[in-house]
Structure 1
Amino acid sequence: MSDTPTPLTFQVSARRLDAHASQARCKQAELAIDTDLAGNPAAFNPAELLLAALAGCMIKGIERVAPILKFELRGVEVRLHGVRQDVPPRMASIRYEIIVDTDEPDRRLALLHDNVRKYGTVFNTVAPGTDLSGELRRA
């Protein structure tokens, strides 16, 4: 019997609705995707989806470790700014700001930030190919 944990798997499907939008589906959720060459203000474009996935990863990581660390918080906000490079096309840099509404001391904020950087699946997928940096601060 192996002690190797079974890897988590994820399934998402997407389909073109028309020349202006597409739709992604996962579990019971649907998400509009901006696939219009002129842009669609009513949906996230692929680069914005990447930033949203990174923000979600950061918040979920905080939700995961807060009970373990007995970290008390009232809220979390993540702000991201991505810069796209044209040749070759890629996200050249991402700057983030994680704002935590808490009374915890600064050393505990630093510990929380370390956990976000160390254990985030999307964070650790994006970080090697992108200049990814930011701060976690108190609200």
Structure 2
Amino acid sequence: MNYQIKASSVSNKDASVHIKQSNIDFGTIPNSAETLPNPAELFLGSVASCILKNVERFSKMMKYTYTKATIEVSATRLENPPRMDHISYALTIYSNDDKLNITLLQKNIEKHGTIFNTVKLSGSITGTIQTVRED
């Protein structure tokens, strides 16, 4: 598989990533620092997207059901050279399904996630998965 995106910016304005039929605006100027994601946050968003996509993917393969999943991803930015370090995630899956094996799910996410494995090659990434039963 090959992937391709486009992005554009205008001088003294913000920028946008163009992917398929979506446009994702991101900040490049100080005025938008509090309202639009920056490149580091988009990067962490890619990690989150990869994990959530695999929650859905493995729900079919592992035959479990869930109503929703949420994730928080964090990282520390180092200065010299500028880079992300120690990425961590906390994944919560809302499910009453006793067939949901979170140990196996985490193993599969961390073994088969394209973005996850790319990130793992450049630094540490760790995480936790918890389930929340719904009444």
Q: TM-score scaled by structure 1?
A: 0.87
Secondary structure of 2:80's match? Answer: coil
1:93-132 alignment to 2 at 5 Å? Answer: 93-105=86-98, 108-132=101-125
The residue that corresponds to 1:62 in the other structure is 55
Secondary structure of 1:71's match? Answer: coil
Q: Does the CA contact (< 8 Å) of 1:72 and 1:104 recur in 2?
A: yes
Aligned mates of 1:84, 1:105 — CA distance in 2: 39
Aligned mates of 2:31, 2:20 — CA distance in 1: 30
1:1-139 alignment to 2 at 5 Å? Answer: 8-37=1-30, 40-105=33-98, 108-139=101-132
Q: Deviations over 1:59-110 (max 9, x none)?
A: 0011111111101111100101110000011001111101011124497111
Q: Runs of 5+ in structure 1 lacking a partner?
A: 1-7
**Residue type matched to 1:103 in 2?**
N
Aligned mates of 1:71, 1:51 — CA distance in 2: 26
Q: Runs of 5+ in structure 2 lacking a partner?
A: none
Which 4+ runs in 1 deviate beyond 6 A? Answer: none
Aligned mates of 1:122, 1:138 — CA distance in 2: 23
Aligned mates of 1:88, 1:25 — CA distance in 2: 28
Quick one: percent identity of the two aligned structures? 27
CA RMSD of aligned residues (A): 1.7
Secondary structure of 2:101's match? Answer: helix
Q: TM-score scaled by structure 2?
A: 0.90
